[in-house]
Amino acid sequence: MSPEAVLVKKLVYGGYGLAEDKNRTLFIEYALPGELVEVEKLKEKKDYTIAKIKRVILPSSERRDPPCPYYGSCGGCQLQHASYGLQIRAKEEILLETIRRIGKVEVKGLDGSIYGEEFGYRVKVQFKVSGGKLGFFERKSHRLVEIEECLVAHPAINGLIPALKELSKRVKGLKEIHVLYSPSDDEFLIKLLSEEPMGREKFKKLMDDVLPVNVCGVGFYYMGQKVYLKGRDFTFFLIGPYRYRVSMDSFIQVNYMLWERFVKGAVPEDRYRKVLELHCGIGFFSLFLSEKSEHVQAYDSNRSAIKDAEYNARLNKVANVSFGHLTSQEALKKHGGDIFDLIFLDPPRSGLSSGEAKLILANKPRDIVYVSCEPSTLARDLKVLVKGGYRLKSLLMVDNFPNTYHMEAIAKLSLE
């Protein structure tokens, strides 16, 4: 296809620059608002076209040379070519526009944004392995880009990469290496995901030979199941006044630099009698919610996370939180007749199911806090909740993933 010059209007979700060409919408990789770019069309869809830049004719003053040498081939980051200030402003605009367009909710503006350092923030990284090499996949591809370091990863994880490369060469069938690093305890948990089995003695010897002593635990997973464990299957994190245990198969927010500010933005100042928390994980928000409540009843569908959460409540001597292993829909059905002052939600990208939304509306809590990692499903769910009698009181953008298009949001609602 022949190159064409277009003016980029704005950044949209996915990290694309949006432009119009002959009444057709273009989504352009690595383009910035206000730029005049010559593009080559890559893929024609029914309602839009994906394109790439052939030449930047008029660059934005916010364009920068990406700090990472792998940027543009590695698919992990999508916004390193934009100044960090522009990234924040673009995400704020995308969140607002999504709430208005999909949610049909009138919101004047955000009540603020939470953000910090743009590099070195990730304490959990999932490396890909292919052909004995370690790295990340190309954008929308399964071709591996081999790397020596990752700028968004914690420096300690980068320091471990030479050992991980050695494992990649020596473990047959290895597909992924998941690394979790605890800054407070300076130790690592590692998960090895393999498509080929390995003998127990070979596994133990290899781990002893290759990995440093501050790797406190290694799990070997074959066909999705944990087969061997060397050392512990958990580590600890300090978040504010609390110490949390996190196991290999549990989840923790990856941006450790924002943990305390994230909690402060999400946990309301008001005091509550009874709180229902859904998708509670390891109790990340639960322990802080307990400070504002007579009792918190919290649930998650991940059994490993619930075991950690129960341990974390005991460890921190928090007696007014109870945890249960149920899906959010099961939990809402179980407590159908109970009265809650607050329902606190932190669902996956898919958001709430229609059944969950209906059960929340039937329960009629005074307040709802909705922590979201996907603007479109948040907007869809807010539409249902607002139509059901709730008012959106505040909306915050949380930049948990700088240099990528991903974002989180905190929406707070009250019954009209």
Tokens of 77: 């980051």
Token reading at 249: 């198969």
Burial (CB count within 10 angstroms: exposed 0-12, middle 13-18, buried 19+), residue 23: exposed
Q: Is 136 buried (19+), middle (13-18) or exposed (0-12) by CB count in 10 A? A: buried
Q: How far is CA 88 from CA 2, 283, 314, in A?
A: 34, 28, 38
Question: What is residue 355's three-state secondary structure?
Answer: helix
Q: Are strands 48-58 and 124-130 parallel, antiparallel or unpaired?
A: unpaired
Distance (Å, rounded) from C-alpha 168 to C-alpha 396? 41
Say whether 216 is catalytic.
no
Residue where the block lists tokens 């432009």:
19
Going by DSSP bridges, is the β-strand pair 174-182/187-194 parallel, antiparallel, or unpaired?
Answer: antiparallel
Q: What is the DSSP letter of 356?
A: H
Catalytic residue from among 74, 77, 280, 373: 373
Among 389, 398, 338, which residue's Cα sits nearest to residue 368?
A: 389
* Residues labelled catalytic: 373
